[in-house]
Structure 1
């Protein structure tokens, strides 16, 4: 099988994949526009920042697995991948420390205006009076939007700076859980905005989080507060942010941007925003530690896929099957028995959704669970039970 790596990854990734007997091609300068032409006969595609569009998925002739060498999968067309039977897997948690470190770095840099002071000194200016006006972080409240792996890592580091931590995560966090985790609970994003001296965002991009940081949210933030975004650019309304910086004196640190350039791009057009913020070019996950951790996970995903047919970390399989029942067949481990069972199901025009066959110790017998769209007839069950090599048949309604 051929593997295409369409972004820069650790050399160890290539060596390890080749060690699995795969042919590996690295083309880090590919873009969303050029990838459809390049995908060809590749069976596995590995990307970091490069978008995988419907055009790429439809142009592929042999593609069976796309791996996002990172956490978020919003750059991959999951709907089209599902329609074409292409697995999508990711590597969550492997860049946790790297992103958390950058978020804290941006927080400190925004508070102490490190970048502005550095630029001034490079121009020969000694502006001690101007840059000696920082508020400091000890005793301040850091509001964290999204308390997943990265949000928790930021919370731990903020506590090391003796900050108070306030958190909101509308998908799972409750007041009781917040207490157990050692953070204060915010009932809503707006409540968090009003109560925080600094806010850092660690949420996935989705329809629910698009422009979550909007005019209403920014209006609730305190004058002179700090806003950090090292998650996804789409979460922040850029125009509303620029207006709030001018009106409220917000200090802002950004690693991600709306409509940001591709990883291989050389130019950045949003210079007006850059002039108002402390910013970095989406490098939150770009540390040696994170790269090696992601590389190991990519190899594990591929190895599992080659051995079992199902990749580790897959994100686009049904979490809840639409099946109405499972047909459980215990049978002798002989050639053709399962084929006979499936033929009988097909004769009743019943669609099979999933099949799992488990072998017992000694390899003399097996148990097969078949998820079906409708309940099989009594005649079908009786016909199966009558077969010499079938031990038992059972239907479980779901």
Structure 2
């Protein structure tokens, strides 16, 4: 059986690096075959996963020889961190490797939603000319960006936003108000309520925890500035999706981009809540997935896994 089991997509060059050093099973469809996944996990020393593989419960119990979990990304809500720690299993996310990709997604989404011009494509193709209807699009320059969470991805987003002429506020109780990073990025710490009330664009950058689940519920969305844009490329479950859809249809906020959802893949019955919502972008959890980011994430994860296996003498 393989020492390293890779259950989801990984860049082929990084797979080759692992295979050159250790017996490696690469099967990106393994996540969808639970029985085969359990069988493969029984003798492996390393599991390499993205966000869909649930490293907990039965899978974790089966992997009795497990030394390290390499996470192709940064979110850890699909991994039982406490159970891993209790068994001495090291969990290594690819911290920092997709920061640029997600930051660019946020900025691009904000510009699209503020301007609104992308909605003209079907009309122009049909021979219409909706120029007058699209004359009130908004520029990103001079707008205020509110970042909920001020970790590494939010900071990359702030750098790009500042270069485009945005002012920046952020709410993060884990970053001291006198930390040098605020001045370095020209950002200002703010309370959550004040941020929601005064930001033209609100972008989420928090993990999914008991404290952040439904953080943006109906009441919080109602506190957002009228016409504001909401972007969630962090974790599903942080935004109350039906409440957001209602706010969009009612015109209380100006638009939204969601890359993550409470249930993934998003079932048709849950996706139906967004029917008829204006100025909405929905993408299938790809903000951190670009050609460049895939290479960085995969390379870093391969290095992390090999390091932990060597360190453990496994």
TM-score relative to the length of structure 2: 0.89
1:30 and 2:30 are equivalent in the alignment: yes
In the TM superposition, residue 259 of structure 1 has moved relative to its aligned partner by: 1.0
Which of 248, 251, 257 pairs up with 2:261?
Answer: 257
Q: How does 1:234-273 map to 2 (within 5 A)?
A: 234-247=237-250, 248-261=252-265, 269-273=270-274
- For residues 178 and 110 of structure 1, the distance between their equivalents in structure 2, rounded to whole angstroms, comes to 28
Query: Aligned residue for 1:283?
Result: 286
Query: Which has the higher relative contact order, 1 or 2, with Cα contacts under 8 A spaced 6 or more apart?
Result: 2
- For residues 113 and 280 of structure 1, the distance between their equivalents in structure 2, rounded to whole angstroms, comes to 17
Residues 100 and 29 of structure 1: CA distance in aligned 2, closer, same or farther (over 3 Å): same
Query: Aligned residue for 1:230?
Result: 233
- For residues 149 and 224 of structure 2, the distance between their equivalents in structure 1, rounded to whole angstroms, comes to 17
Cα offsets for 1:167-210 (capped at 9, x unmatched): 11111140564642333424311110111111111111111211
Q: Which has the larger radius of gyration?
A: 1
Residues 23 and 181 of structure 1: CA distance in aligned 2, closer, same or farther (over 3 Å): same
In the TM superposition, residue 306 of structure 1 has moved relative to its aligned partner by: 2.8
Higher share in strand: 1
TM-score relative to the length of structure 1: 0.71
- For residues 310 and 235 of structure 1, the distance between their equivalents in structure 2, rounded to whole angstroms, comes to 40
In the TM superposition, residue 53 of structure 1 has moved relative to its aligned partner by: 2.7
Query: Aligned residue for 2:3?
Result: 2
- 1:146–1:169 contact (8 Å) kept in structure 2: yes
Query: Aligned residue for 1:100?
Result: 103
1:155 and 2:158 are equivalent in the alignment: yes
Cα offsets for 1:144-163 (capped at 9, x unmatched): 11111110111111112111
- 2:14–2:302 contact (8 Å) kept in structure 1: yes
Residues 218 and 80 of structure 1: CA distance in aligned 2, closer, same or farther (over 3 Å): same
Cα offsets for 1:120-168 (capped at 9, x unmatched): 4345543222222212111111111111111011111111211111111
Question: Bigger shift: 41-50 or 109-118?
Answer: 109-118
Q: How does 1:285-304 map to 2 (within 5 A)?
A: 285-304=288-307
- For residues 20 and 30 of structure 2, the distance between their equivalents in structure 1, rounded to whole angstroms, comes to 24
Structure 2 runs not aligned, ≥5 long: none
- For residues 30 and 117 of structure 1, the distance between their equivalents in structure 2, rounded to whole angstroms, comes to 41
- For residues 194 and 183 of structure 1, the distance between their equivalents in structure 2, rounded to whole angstroms, comes to 20
Q: CA RMSD in A?
A: 2.3
- For residues 161 and 237 of structure 1, the distance between their equivalents in structure 2, rounded to whole angstroms, comes to 30
Query: Aligned residue for 2:132?
Result: 129
- For residues 106 and 66 of structure 1, the distance between their equivalents in structure 2, rounded to whole angstroms, comes to 32
In the TM superposition, residue 246 of structure 1 has moved relative to its aligned partner by: 2.7
- For residues 235 and 308 of structure 2, the distance between their equivalents in structure 1, rounded to whole angstroms, comes to 29
- For residues 128 and 97 of structure 2, the distance between their equivalents in structure 1, rounded to whole angstroms, comes to 41
- For residues 125 and 270 of structure 2, the distance between their equivalents in structure 1, rounded to whole angstroms, comes to 24
Which of 301, 305, 309 pairs up with 1:306?
Answer: 309
- For residues 268 and 230 of structure 1, the distance between their equivalents in structure 2, rounded to whole angstroms, comes to 22
Count of residue pairs brought into register by the alignment: 307
Query: Aligned residue for 1:364?
Result: none
- For residues 274 and 87 of structure 1, the distance between their equivalents in structure 2, rounded to whole angstroms, comes to 43
Residues 117 and 166 of structure 1: CA distance in aligned 2, closer, same or farther (over 3 Å): same
- For residues 204 and 102 of structure 2, the distance between their equivalents in structure 1, rounded to whole angstroms, comes to 11
